[in-house]
Amino acid sequence: MNPRRLVIAAGGTGGHMFPAQALAEVMLARGWHVTLSTDERGARYAGGFPDQVEIRQVASATFARGGVLSKLIAPLRIGLGTLAATVRMLIDRPKVVAGFGGYPSIPALSAAWILRVPRMIHEQNGVLGRVNRLFAARVNQVACGTWPTSLPDGVEAVHTGNPVRAQVLEKACAPYEAPDEGEISILVIGGSQGARILSDVVPDAIARLNGGMGPRLRVAHQARPEDQAQVRGIYEKAGIAADVEPFFNDIAERIAGAHLVISRSGASSVADISVIGRPSILIPYAAATGDHQTANARGLMDADAAVLVPETALDPASLSEQIMAILTMPGAAMRMRDNAVAQGKPDAAERLATLIETLAGD
């Protein structure tokens, strides 16, 4: 009997790969065979995928970066990747192909369209990315992680939420102690790529906290390698204990151990914060396509679970005041935590898996 096989097509950044990983974990548990179709760049984010997932690299390219020559070659690389993906699907006969966005998902989704393999896309953000917008009218199902999501005319979608990885589910609705006394833990994360503006502003803002808070503070700060010395220096000068790293593999444990999370509002970060349930200050990436990070943050902001700070309004003095208000106003942090939990969708991967099995006719 031909095994039930799912091809997951994703790439580019952790924002695409983390929810793809979460789906892979659930589909394996349901007895499916899973293949990840990505490119060389996407494969760098695949280290957390279960060993049972076959990782297959395909040729792809982006039109958004590089010089004139790179953009001229891009269609050829995508075409070669699509040809290779088509041949592979003729051999493997997948039941469904699920795309999570990013240019590396184009070859597998194109091959599925050519062969009429049931196919779906999942959009993590509140605004469709370029690739998902391209395929939205060419798939059997569109699933959305953020709601509402701006969709092309005539396209309907199902709200599933954003799948979170197993390590996040293990910390779902983690106990929370209000920061009234004892150690206060702050986590600063800038998405899988890091964020220079957070390294430029946040350490100074935390160093300004008053009321004798300094000795109680413990900070975990994700900073790009080129920013780490600067970030460490500010914390050291202020006498604040800080763990500064370019990436946290134990992000779920870090979120669960935090009294406050200061973060970009990438879809995966928002989902992780919601499912675990922590107060947050969200700083959307101003250059995000369609300002989708502001759309991602809106649900937590409207629920009084997060404070949204546009980049244009970000400065150390005002950010310090906002941090202080959350950590010192009686009941504020606990209320935000409870409101965040109410927004979480820990069953998002299971919902998505059920949609896939419906497409497969199971």
Write out pLDDT tens, residues 83-135: 999 999 999 999 999 999 998 999 999 999 999 999 999 999 999 999 999 99
Whether residue 67 has pLDDT greater than 70: no
- pLDDT value, residue 14: 79
Q: Determine if the pTM surpasses 0.75.
A: yes
Assess whether the previous peptide bond of 163 is cis (omega < 30° from 0): no
| Alpha-carbon dihedral sign for residues 295, 19, 226, 249 | positive
Mean pLDDT, range 244-272, rounded to an integer:
96
pLDDT digits (tens, 9 = 90+) for 23-51: 999 999 999 999 999 988 888 888 889 99
* CA–CA distance, 273 with 326 (Å, rounded to integer): 16
- Give the pLDDT confidence score for residue 153 in this predicted structure: 93
